[in-house]
Amino acid sequence: MLLDLFYILVFPGFLFLSAFALWAEYFDRLVYARLQNRVGPPWFQPTADFIKLVAKADLVPTAANPTFFRLAPIIALTAVCTAFIYIPLWSTSSLFSFNGDIIVILYLLTIPTLCFFIGGWYSTSLYCRIGAVRTVTQLFAYEIPLFMGLLAPALLANSWSITEIMQFYIDHPWFWAFNLIGLIVSLIALHGKLEKAPFDIPEAETEIVAGGFTEYSGRLLAFLRMTLDIEMIVGASLLAAIFLPFGLQSGPVVGFLVYLVKVLLIVFLFSIARTIFARMRIDQMIAFCWQYVVPLAMVQLLINLILKGIIIR
C-alpha cells in the first residue's frame, strides 16, 4: 500500500513526472531558441515560471462560471497524471495494467482537451470562446488519426493491453519497423493535441490573444501550463511504449536511460517542427489531417491486417 503510494506520488508518478515535464519544457525551449539563433532560457526557467504563477492571485472574471472555470484546469491535470501510471516505461509492465488500458489512456488524454474547451467556454470572453471552439474543431481533426495510428500495433499484437503489445514486440523483434507509418501519423496527431505550432491555432496569439487561456491567471494558469507539459511527456511516453520497443529487457537502469532518450527524441522532433513551420489556418489543418494523415493511418491498418493474415497467423 505504502509502496503503491510512493509509486504514484513520487517515482515514477507525480513528482518525477512533474520534474521531468518541467525539464522537458526547458529542453524544448532551449532547442527552439538555439535553432532560432538565440541563447535560450536557463535550466530552471520553467520551474521558476511555475513557482511565480502559483504565487500569484487567481482572478475569476465576474461573468465566468466560477465552478467550471476553476474545475477545468484541475480535472485536466488529474487526467493526464492518471494516464501516466498506465504506461510502461522501462519494462513491459506499468504500475497498473489490465486488458484495455490503451483505450483508457486515449480517453484520459482526451479529457484535457475537453477541459480546455469547458474552461474557455465558461470564461465567457470572446477570445476564449473562439479559442474553445477552435480547440474542439481541432480535436475532430487529430483524434481519429491518433486513435487509428495507436491502435494499429494493438491490432497486430491482437491485444488491447500495452504490456501485451510490448511482449509481442519481444517475441517478434523488428516488427516495430512495420509500424513506422503509424509512428509518423501519431506524432503529427499528438503534435496537434499538444497545440504546438504549426497547430497552435486554438491559442494563436496574434488573432485571439491566448485563446481559451486568455482569462486564466495565477495557480489555474500554472495548472494549465503544467497540464500541457505533462501531456507532452505522457504522449511521448505512450508513443515510445507502443512504437519504439527498445531496451525493454536490459534492466531498470539502462532501460530507464533508454526511456529518457526516447522521450527526449520525440520532444526534440516537436521542437524542430515548431521552429520550421508557420501556423496553419483551422480549415487548412482539418483538410491536412483528413486528406493526408487519415489515409496514411489507413495504409498502416491495411499493412497490419495483411501482416496479421499472412505472416503471423
> For residue 211, which amino acid is it?
G
Angle, helices 126-157/162-171, rounded to nearest 10 degrees: 40
Q: Which is closer to another protein, CB of 129 or CB of 225?
A: 129
Q: Which is closer to another protein, CB of 98 or CB of 292?
A: 292
Q: Which is closer to another protein, CB of 37 or CB of 62?
A: 37
Closest separation in Å from C-beta 209 to another protein: 6
Query: Contact positions toward another protein, by CB under 8 A?
Result: 35-38, 126-127, 129-130, 133, 197-198, 200-201, 204-209, 275-284
Closest separation in Å from C-beta 118 to another protein: 14
Q: Which is closer to another protein, CB of 6 or CB of 277?
A: 277
Spatial CB neighbours of 189, under 8 Å, sequence gap ≥ 6: 142, 143, 145, 146, 149, 289, 293
Residue 216, φ and ψ in degrees, nearest 5? -80, 145
CB 154 within 8 A of CB 160: yes
Grid coordinates in use for 214? Answer: 486568455
Closest separation in Å from C-beta 281 to another protein: 4
> For residue 34, which amino acid is it?
R
Cα separation, 159 vs 248, whole angstroms: 18
Closest separation in Å from C-beta 204 to another protein: 6
Q: Which stretches of the chain are assigned E, i.e. beta strand?
A: none
Q: Which is closer to another protein, CB of 253 or CB of 291?
A: 291
Closest separation in Å from C-beta 199 to another protein: 10
Closest separation in Å from C-beta 305 to another protein: 32
Which uninterrupted H or E stretch holds 6? helix 2-9
Q: Which is closer to another protein, CB of 20 or CB of 127?
A: 127
CB 193 within 8 A of CB 231: yes
Helix (H, G, I), strand (E, B) or coil at 126: helix
DSSP summary character for residue 211: G
Cα separation, 20 vs 110, whole angstroms: 21
The separation between the first and the last C-alpha atoms of the chain, rounded to the nearest angstrom, is 42
Closest separation in Å from C-beta 39 to another protein: 11
Closest separation in Å from C-beta 196 to another protein: 10
CA-wise closest residue to 148 among 102, 117, 116? 102
Q: Which is closer to another protein, CB of 175 or CB of 213?
A: 213
Q: Which is closer to another protein, CB of 96 or CB of 277?
A: 277
